[in-house]
A and B are shown apart, each in its own frame.
Chain A
Amino acid sequence: MNNDLISVNNLSVEFDYQENFLAKKQKIHAVQNINIKIKKGSFFGLVGESGSGKTTLGRAILGANKISSGNVIFHDDNKDFDLTKISKQELKEYRKKAQLIFQDPYAALSPRMTVRDIIAEPLEVMKITKSKEETDERVREIASKCRLNLEHLRRFPHAFSGGQRQRISIARALVSSPKFIVADESVAALDVSIQADILNLLKSLRKELNLTYLFISHDLSVVAHVCDVVAVMYLGHIVEIASSKELFKNPKHSYTKALLSSIPSIDPEKQSKAIELTGEIPSAMNPPSGCVFRTRCPNPTHDCKEGNIEMGLIEVTPNHWVDQCCVNCK
């Protein structure tokens, strides 16, 4: 039996870019050569700085971005969806199974619709329920699962706080009974006290509804707490994958190390000794040749500096994969 829900094979996503209408057409390599497998029922974390391609990868897996090469396969119970060859009809079916929770709960909800209508909309668009009664019943069921007060269903979003709004967007994503959820920075806009609440909700819903998550975030401490497996992205490439405990205890890639050392400590006496990366993330239009990290690597080998080393993940300990170039850099 196949335990993977999603397998991504050699996936690349490129965008066309033209500075002005006279300029030469260029390609932006947003995501390059990604191989990941997401196990059923797992909480798969994706971290990296802005511009590293996290969101593009998430959208490509949902079929919301064109795939330039490689493929994404969604293994349903008795059917595989290959997103590169999917037909329109199949894509509609796929949308019921894979859903997205957005970052900003203030922008994601229409101010002119009641909470009930917001949550019911996917059911009506996807024609999942037959009658209004059935829709209402389903909305009430999912709203109570997301710990929304049922009396609030008739209100408009402006009456709710950030945490409650995020619960509404979660309810909307879950109403079509999906199996796979992409949570794109879903707690980034929330205060810490509410953030913990939403994370606990996502965790409990996973068990209750057999969900699999792709959890995209730039906050490592949050990822460490909820995710089973974490992939670190840099400039369109995955540079390290490991279970979250292993990654935090034993980071191998110098980028992961720098990220971890940058998390500020709550103890004022433990002044942080952040490994400072010099410079900024290079432009995706003109990425460095060979190892993409070499322009910021604190300790590149001679070959790496010259851009002679190809990227590619190797397994250093069981289930801990690191980019081969940077295994040897300190």
Chain B
Amino acid sequence: MEELLKIKNLDVKFDTDEGRITAVENVSLSVNQGEVLGIVGESGSGKSVTAKAIMQLNPGNTIYNEDAEIIIDGENVIKFTSKEDLKKIRGGKVSMIFQEPMASFAPAIKIGDQMVEQLLLHKNIKKEEAKSISLDMLTRVGITDTEKRFNQYAFELSGGMRQRAMIAMALSTMPKLLLADEPTTALDVTIQAQVLKLMKDIIKEYKMGVIFITHDLAVIAQTADQIAVMYLGCIVEKGPVNEILKNPKHPYTKGLIAALPDVNNLDAPLKPIPGNIPSPLERPSNCVFRTRCPNPTHECKEGKTPMGLIEVKPGHWVDKCCVNCG
């Protein structure tokens, strides 16, 4: 399969009043055509920042490291600065679906006009053609009465419908890579099931690459092919979804799986991961997980073991420090 996106050694830092914060450290990952990569982790683990770095949507105080590479179609998009270049990755080759659909539509512009506008920006087509593509896309995502919806505002639609309209808009430019940032978190379970099925069908049909960001492991299990677990800006474990969920090696991945309430065994006690995620200002040196590790080795506790992924099985990568922790 063709490799669509490759991120190499990405660091993202933010300059704030309280000092320089490391949001993402040494992240490397790749997405193939037609493949879904799920990124999981708690809030503050750097999932969204990684995705936004691909489209350069992080705020002005962001600092990327010099040797970072984000390769799409042979171009290092992180070095893009001109408007023309940025247009290619913002909505052209890459599209993004956000968590809160109400916040991602402009409230005072009709949904149809927003869809047409972005098509006109990215494609060399006439307005009528853009409208027919938009209407067609709305039908594809299961919205009935498309003519009427086309002329409505975002607040007139229900949550599920708004999220579907958002997906239709993101997909109408036929991006090669789709970034979905918690697309179902704000939805009810029944609507979530509808939206997930829709996304799966469309991904298959258009053979897109997808990065699916969520904190819900069960959603990942149902949609992703590959999975990357992030903690405090670092990828601590990655590999095929089946392998990682059935045979987790990192104590954080194990903790996340154990913390999920199990519907099949209601008497099982709930097991939280002890401790809190440290503030990015007090980021532990070397192994970032050591403050919450249930079984750190002596050297790790002292912060002497550097991080880095090693391959424990073909395709299954784990942080080398934590392979030996319980």
A301 within 8 A of B: no
Instruction: Tell me the A256-290 residues at the B interface (CB within 8 Å).
Output: 258-269, 271-272, 274, 276-277, 280-281
Q: A200 contacts B270, CB within 8 Å?
A: yes
Instruction: Tell me the B224-254 residues at the A interface (CB within 8 Å).
Output: 241-242, 245
B129 within 8 A of A: no
Q: A192 contacts B256, CB within 8 Å?
A: yes
Q: B42 contacts A199, CB within 8 Å?
A: no
Which of A7-15, A120-128, A137-145, A214-222 lies at the interface with chain B? A214-222
Question: Once the chains are docked, how many angstroms separate the CA of A276 from the CA of B255?
Answer: 32
Which of A162, A195, A268 is close to B222, meaning CB atoms less than 8 Å apart?
A268
The smallest beta-carbon distance between A176 and chain B, in angstroms, is 27
Contacts of A194 in B (CB 8 A): 42, 272, 276
Q: A195 contacts B259, CB within 8 Å?
A: yes
Which of B193, B242, B270 is close to A196, meaning CB atoms less than 8 Å apart?
B270
The smallest beta-carbon distance between B226 and chain A, in angstroms, is 11
A244 within 8 A of B: yes
Q: B160 contacts A280, CB within 8 Å?
A: yes
Contacts of B161 in A (CB 8 A): 280
* Nearest chain B residue, comparing its CB with the CB of A218: B188
* Nearest chain B residue, comparing its CB with the CB of A199: B270
* Nearest chain A residue, comparing its CB with the CB of B241: A268
Which of B86-94, B201-209, B211-219, B295-303 lies at the interface with chain A? B211-219
A129 within 8 A of B: no
B71 within 8 A of A: no
Which of A49, A161, A260 is close to B188, meaning CB atoms less than 8 Å apart?
A49
Produce 1/0 per residue, A174-192, CB < 8 A to B.
0000000000000000011
Question: Once the chains are docked, how many angstroms separate the CA of A154 from the CA of B192?
Answer: 41
Q: B255 contacts A193, CB within 8 Å?
A: yes
Q: A262 contacts B217, CB within 8 Å?
A: no
Question: Once the chains are docked, how many angstroms separate the CA of A196 from the CA of B261?
Answer: 8
Contacts of B277 in A (CB 8 A): 161
The smallest beta-carbon distance between B244 and chain A, in angstroms, is 9
How many positions in chain A have a CB within 8 Å of any CB in the partner chain?
44
How many positions in chain B have a CB within 8 Å of any CB in the partner chain?
42
* Nearest chain B residue, comparing its CB with the CB of A190: B43
Instruction: Tell me the B151-204 residues at the A interface (CB within 8 Å).
Output: 158-161, 188-194, 196-197
Instruction: Tell me the A189-247 residues at the B interface (CB within 8 Å).
Output: 191-197, 199-200, 218-222, 224-225, 244-245
Produce 1/0 per residue, B252-274, CB < 8 A to A.
00011101111100100111110
Question: Once the chains are docked, how many angstroms separate the CA of A199 from the CA of B270?
Answer: 8
Contacts of B273 in A (CB 8 A): 193
Q: A191 contacts B270, CB within 8 Å?
A: no
The 8 A-B residue pairs whose C-beta atoms are closest, nearest first, are: A197-B272, A274-B193, A196-B272, A196-B270, A193-B273, A264-B218, A262-B189, A262-B193
B-binding residues in A (CB < 8 A)? 49-50, 161-164, 191-197, 199-200, 218-222, 224-225, 244-245, 248, 258-269, 271-272, 274, 276-277, 280-281
A-binding residues in B (CB < 8 A)? 42-43, 158-161, 188-194, 196-197, 215-219, 221-222, 241-242, 245, 255-257, 259-263, 266, 269-273, 276-277, 279
Cβ contacts A to B, 27 pairs, < 8 Å: A49-B188, A49-B189, A164-B276, A191-B42, A191-B43, A193-B256, A194-B272, A196-B259, A196-B270, A196-B272, A200-B269, A218-B188, A218-B189, A219-B189, A220-B263, A224-B263, A224-B266, A248-B263, A259-B189, A262-B189, A264-B192, A266-B221, A268-B242, A271-B222, A277-B190, A280-B158, A280-B160
Beyond the given A50-B188, A193-B42, please list 16 additional residue pairs across the A-B interface where CB-CB is below 8 A. Answer: A49-B191, A50-B159, A193-B255, A194-B42, A195-B259, A196-B272, A225-B266, A262-B190, A262-B192, A263-B189, A264-B216, A266-B260, A267-B245, A280-B158, A280-B160, A280-B191
